[in-house]
Structure 1
Amino acid sequence: MSIGWCLKVAVGRIILTCSAVALMALGAPLSAAAVQQDFGAWRAYMRGRVAISQDRLGEAVRQFQTALQASEHDRILRQRTFGLALLSGDEKLSFELARALEKAGQSGFDTRLVLLAQAVQDKEWDRAVEIRNGLSKENQLLFALPVIDSWLALGRGKDDPLAPIAGVGGNALAESYAAEHRAFLLGATGRTDDAMAAFQPLITGETGRATRIRLVAAAMLQRKGRKEEAAALLTGRDPVIRAAHAMVQGGKRLRTGIATPAEGMAELFVRLAADAGRDHTSQAGLVIARLATFLAPQNAETWLVTASLLADDDKPQAALDALAGISPTDPFAAQATGFRISLLQRLNRQAEALGIAQAAAAAAGAGVPEWSQLGDVLNMAELHEDAARAYARAIELTPSDQPDWRLYLLRGGAYERLGDWTRAEPDLRRAVALAPDEAVALNYLGYALLDRGLKLEEAQRLIENASAKRPGDGAITDSLAWVHYRRGNFARAIDLLEQAVQLEPAEPTINEHLGDAYWQVGRRYEARYSWRAAMVGAEEEDVLARLRRKIDFGLAAGDDSAQ
């Protein structure tokens, strides 16, 4: 047995599941034979399990290795150590154990993928083809096999590498993979003009995928000495694209290209992993993402996807460790910094997060993203005046002919949280003026007016407009309900609040509002139930105190203004 994947295409999406000795089975008990053979092996194994639960994957690997050394013939322990080595990104151990599993007759689909990656890395093309042929017998990854065949053909140098993907069709997802890799292969084989023609339909828009492909195309042009064309390709407001443009203009080499089979295979794996993550199969996708880091460690996207999947799997420290693989000079460095800050905040390491944000804003060439990011961190730290100053600097750095409504909303929000309505209102109105169709801006201004008892007709109009644009938004539905509550229409408020709770059942403000509305119509038991539900998600001590007071004594005058 192996990690036991199922990897296939269904209805235009990727499905990866784990079964048998799955990643979760790393927590299963060690075999009785191993326990009897060596208590030290059992102790190391248990320490490894604890380390996994504490998000210390490196330590877990060391403990599993200790257990395996003491119980080297335990087949299940070998499989689990292999799975953990992959999860943690231990390249050397992953390759070593994959070979051991193959030798012991325990190789499965996951093992073969690791062995394939090693063969490609070592340019052992005949061995790679042999392993690839074994993959087809597993009846998995079939839609991606033509792409693998193309890169292996390039490595062998014997056949046309474009031939395997030429006939791909019948499935939109498979066709999109083939279209991308056709462009990559044309570039890798020196057919630059043909590659650019193939790239054109893939780089329109500002999606994350289009950005990545544009960086590949720019690196190809730069490699061919076509600097001006590379720079022209890197235009727009995307911070990653702007960073890459600055590198090209400054004569620095982009490391975002795809010129070798290893880089091509890594690109295939990292997109498979990202697509799998979007379909909530992050653990199996994580294994593929790790293989991408083995094959192309200079590709920042491999580390970003790996870190994202680790974070989704509730391993924020391991995600932080993965981000260390991204060079500080990479176009994705700023994005990695933002991700690093969010992970530190998640780990409640606020001082570290703030220090990184401050350093980024103080660095030479810091722009709107860095100052806006600093404002966000300061806001989360309840330093709203400082946050407002950071957003003000971001507004100053924004081109006057391209004002960003979000920055005005953020600065206005910081002032509003300070209780400074005199400074907050102009910014919030500026945000709405710049983006009259943005539901978030409409709702924020409307609710701020409503909460202060100001201009209730306008507040209702703004919130109704926001609700019409985003009817499925729980927060906006809550705001609309609060309009009716403030006007004494409690029955309508309850209808809307019950809808909002269905949309966001864990949101404390909505539950508190619903409790207030229930109380007003005499539904006292349901009111206290809703206030108790609000306490589950509430964190601020003043909010918790207010909720306790309501539960104990009911709704007192002036106590129904939940924030």
Structure 2
Amino acid sequence: MAGAMRVADEAAASTRGGPECARSRRTLRTSPRPPATERRPTTIWLVPPIFMVAYGKRPSLDEGAGGCSFVIIRVVAAIAAAVVLGTGGTASAAGDQLEAASPFGAYLAAQHAAKSGDYSTASAYFRALIGSDQKAAVIADAIKAFVASGEVATAEKLSRELDQSGTRPWGLAIFLRFAGDVLRNDMASAEALLDPMATVGGLDGYLVPVLRAWISGSRGPPSAAFEQIDRIAERGVLISFFNYHAARILDHWGQREAAGQRYRAAIQEAAIPDRMALAALAHFSATGQTDDAIRARTSLAGRRPASGTVLALQEGAELRSLGGPVNLAVPPAAGVDRSDGDQGQAKGLDQRDVAVGVAETFFDGARMLFSQQFYRGALAYVQIALYLEPDFLAARLLVAQVQEQLGANDSALASYRRVPSDAPESWDAGLALAGLLGRLSRVEEARSELQLLGERFPGRVGALSALGQLMATEKRYDQAIAAYSEALDRLDWLEPHHWPLLYGRGAAFERSGLWERAEEDLQRALELSPDQPFILNYLAYSWIEQGRRLEEAKAMAALAARLRPDNGFIIDSLGWAHYRLGDYELAVETLERAMAAQPGDPVITSHYGDALWRTGRKLEARMQWRNALRADPDPELAAEIEWKLEHGFDELPPVVEEHEI
């Protein structure tokens, strides 16, 4: 029926995210991804003071002559920028137009480019403006554009010229000066810069105490800074963040017992980054704390089993984490301190240690902003992190992710490609690169990237799984089946987290008309993950459409609906089961819930009309069928609805008994 065809088509179309955001009742997604905003016991809305102050009062373009104010400029920027940039500016176009543009036009073009996420073009215009007599007027906006484009050294140099331009330094400018002082090993100047920020709120209020701890930690274990951190942590927020950084500083000073206590507290939270778990694992392994090391290993491998870091460790690679070397293949020996000679002694923090710790702090701030969708703020923080530590690959990945969210796709692609191919993070970067290419409809490029990634890592299945998703999305089901089959052939045994491979192949079989093979794969997937709502729903809806095993299918759809109570497609499957079993009143009630959860879907609307007709509400049924026609159904469903509008379907009896086909 058209409903079954629609389900699988939507399944393929929805595979580029993860089960959490699946749109169809059957989805071919094979690897869940975390939602953009992770759930926390306490939500903190961290609007950074940087971006509150940064967009405050600005001087005029020509203060001496009382020229046009920046308030007016901002009002007309959206209109006038089009005159300079046309329908879409690029960095090369900016270069061609710089000489011809007036300062006013160049500024408008720069602002337009920045708001569009094209920071390289914005930087090109601002570079010309700061070389002109308009420097004082544009310096603050230029700093922001340079930071966003990754030209942090230029932004840091400009931040030291703010005073003479008449612009009061704000949060971003202060952090730039701070980072520059750290790189120059001027810790006293860096610490002094934090004094005016001691009472700031928002995210900076959480970052500044940790930044101060790293700076003062260069002189010895910063007990006073730790006391301030602990007072903030007593609020019950960001506990892993505070304890992780304290543990790292204590580790540097050889205070292993105190560091271990901090690491234990840090890894209690589930949603910690890989690097935090790695550092804890390195500490516990080096000090022979077997039970803690096992817990850290379990936490690391269990949270993101398909990440490049975890897969590299499981394959026997030794990684150099920020806390020391880590190798999952070598279990820690109880009570044996395997650390290097001066480890465990008070060696302290040198300039490099402080720079890395400060980079991590800004990176964590960027992660927090990214999780709450403050993408421009996240980009500023993570670019500062990379300025301090250019080899910080997790930060490079985050830059690419932020650029994606801002629509700067070319920049994001370039950032993913900058991750070295011999780094564990290259696996994550390769998958993300292919995913972005697929979303940009550059399918053959995405396919090529995934094939190369699969060849580089012959023991892994993630690239082949993603290739299967991509081919299914393109309705190239034979190639999808081939990719999933190759992935399954690489596995010696199946574990619960492998269910998406069978699920994806089963859906591709179903769409290819090979139902018996599809059913076998779907049932095997369900054995691996009995409570996976998308498997339950796909298999249940298939049986319902075929008129088979209706009571069992209804129970499966009901379980799926309990697991995903807000998914309109799953609720529709349950309503359709009630309908096929002849319980029309309950079908109407259930399908109304599906309509509310997923308004405008033609299949759900058509189903709802069918149930209304069976309860005698024929005028309402016809209205819903017309609504379904207006919702752009596929041709088969459209023909079915048109037939029902003309004839009704009293002559089409419901299926109330199960039969085999």
Moved more, 313-322 or 180-189: 313-322
- Secondary structure (helix, strand or coil) at the match of 1:106 reads coil
Q: 1:211 aligns with which of 274, 295, 308?
A: 274
Residues 111, 54 of structure 1: CA spacing in aligned structure 2 closer, same or farther, 3 A cutoff? closer
Measured in 1, the distance between the counterparts of 2:382 and 2:100 equals 35
Kept in 1, the 8 Å contact 2:221–2:253? The answer is no
Residue identity matched to 1:79: A
Matches within 5 A, 1:27-426: 29=76, 39-49=101-111, 51-52=113-114, 55-73=117-135, 75=137, 77-104=138-165, 105-139=167-201, 141-155=204-218, 157=219, 159-167=220-228, 168-169=230-231, 170-192=234-256, 194-203=258-267, 207=270, 209=272, 211-217=274-280, 236=301, 238-239=305-306, 240-245=308-313, 249-250=316-317, 253-254=320-321, 260-400=353-493, 402=495, 404-426=498-520
Q: Deviation per CA, 1:412-467, whole angstroms, max 9, x where unpaired?
A: 11111222112101001111222222222111110122223333222212111222
Kept in 2, the 8 Å contact 1:497–1:513? The answer is yes
Kept in 2, the 8 Å contact 1:186–1:192? The answer is yes
Kept in 1, the 8 Å contact 2:260–2:283? The answer is no
Residues 362, 463 of structure 1: CA spacing in aligned structure 2 closer, same or farther, 3 A cutoff? same
Residues 333, 220 of structure 1: CA spacing in aligned structure 2 closer, same or farther, 3 A cutoff? farther
Q: Deviation per CA, 1:19-38, whole angstroms, max 9, x where unpaired?
A: 47549x99754699x99x99
The answer for the alignment partner of 1:5 in structure 2 is none
CA shift at 1:229, angstroms? 12
Measured in 1, the distance between the counterparts of 2:76 and 2:185 equals 39
Kept in 1, the 8 Å contact 2:480–2:505? The answer is yes
Measured in 2, the distance between the counterparts of 1:12 and 1:124 equals 36
CA shift at 1:114, angstroms? 1.9
Residue identity matched to 1:273: A
Q: Deviation per CA, 1:373-417, whole angstroms, max 9, x where unpaired?
A: 222222222222222222222222234263522221111111112
CA shift at 1:469, angstroms? 2.8
Q: 1:468 aligns with which of 533, 543, 562?
A: 562
Measured in 1, the distance between the counterparts of 2:457 and 2:196 equals 52
Residues 31, 544 of structure 1: CA spacing in aligned structure 2 closer, same or farther, 3 A cutoff? closer
The answer for the alignment partner of 1:430 in structure 2 is 524
Measured in 1, the distance between the counterparts of 2:216 and 2:260 equals 22
In structure 2, stretches of 5+ residues that fail to align are 1-39, 57-70, 85-98, 325-348, 653-661
CA shift at 1:256, angstroms? 7.8
CA shift at 1:555, angstroms? 7.2
Task: Please say which structure displays the higher CA radius of gyration.
Answer: 2
Kept in 2, the 8 Å contact 1:56–1:317? The answer is no
Residues 234, 80 of structure 1: CA spacing in aligned structure 2 closer, same or farther, 3 A cutoff? same
Measured in 1, the distance between the counterparts of 2:643 and 2:162 equals 63
Measured in 1, the distance between the counterparts of 2:172 and 2:628 equals 48
The answer for the alignment partner of 1:16 in structure 2 is 47
**1:457 pairs with 2:551:** yes
Kept in 1, the 8 Å contact 2:284–2:293? The answer is no
Measured in 2, the distance between the counterparts of 1:517 and 1:481 equals 9
Q: Deviation per CA, 1:277-315, whole angstroms, max 9, x where unpaired?
A: 222323223322222222223222212233323323333
Residues 38, 109 of structure 1: CA spacing in aligned structure 2 closer, same or farther, 3 A cutoff? farther
Measured in 2, the distance between the counterparts of 1:333 and 1:60 equals 29
Residue identity matched to 1:409: Y
- Count of aligned positions: 534
Matches within 5 A, 1:497-512: 497-505=591-599, 509-511=603-605
CA shift at 1:110, angstroms? 1.8
Measured in 2, the distance between the counterparts of 1:306 and 1:333 equals 14
Measured in 2, the distance between the counterparts of 1:163 and 1:20 equals 29
Measured in 2, the distance between the counterparts of 1:264 and 1:274 equals 15
Q: Deviation per CA, 1:307-348, whole angstroms, max 9, x where unpaired?
A: 323323333333323323422222222112111112112222
Kept in 2, the 8 Å contact 1:150–1:164? The answer is yes
CA shift at 1:151, angstroms? 0.4
**1:522 pairs with 2:616:** no
Structure with the bigger percentage of helix: 1
Residue identity matched to 1:131: L
CA shift at 1:352, angstroms? 1.1
Residues 391, 194 of structure 1: CA spacing in aligned structure 2 closer, same or farther, 3 A cutoff? farther
- Secondary structure (helix, strand or coil) at the match of 1:13 reads coil
Kept in 2, the 8 Å contact 1:372–1:394? The answer is yes
- Normalising by structure 1, we get a TM-score of 0.82
Residues 59, 462 of structure 1: CA spacing in aligned structure 2 closer, same or farther, 3 A cutoff? same
Residues 371, 45 of structure 1: CA spacing in aligned structure 2 closer, same or farther, 3 A cutoff? same
Measured in 1, the distance between the counterparts of 2:103 and 2:608 equals 55
Measured in 1, the distance between the counterparts of 2:225 and 2:242 equals 9
CA shift at 1:71, angstroms? 4.9
CA shift at 1:116, angstroms? 1.4
Kept in 2, the 8 Å contact 1:446–1:463? The answer is yes
Bigger relative CO (Cα 8 Å, ≥ 6 apart): 2
CA shift at 1:103, angstroms? 3.6
Measured in 1, the distance between the counterparts of 2:646 and 2:405 equals 40
- Secondary structure (helix, strand or coil) at the match of 1:411 reads helix
Kept in 1, the 8 Å contact 2:363–2:395? The answer is yes
Measured in 2, the distance between the counterparts of 1:193 and 1:366 equals 39
CA shift at 1:47, angstroms? 4.1
Measured in 1, the distance between the counterparts of 2:567 and 2:518 equals 24
The answer for the alignment partner of 1:3 in structure 2 is none
Residues 513, 19 of structure 1: CA spacing in aligned structure 2 closer, same or farther, 3 A cutoff? farther
- Normalising by structure 2, we get a TM-score of 0.71
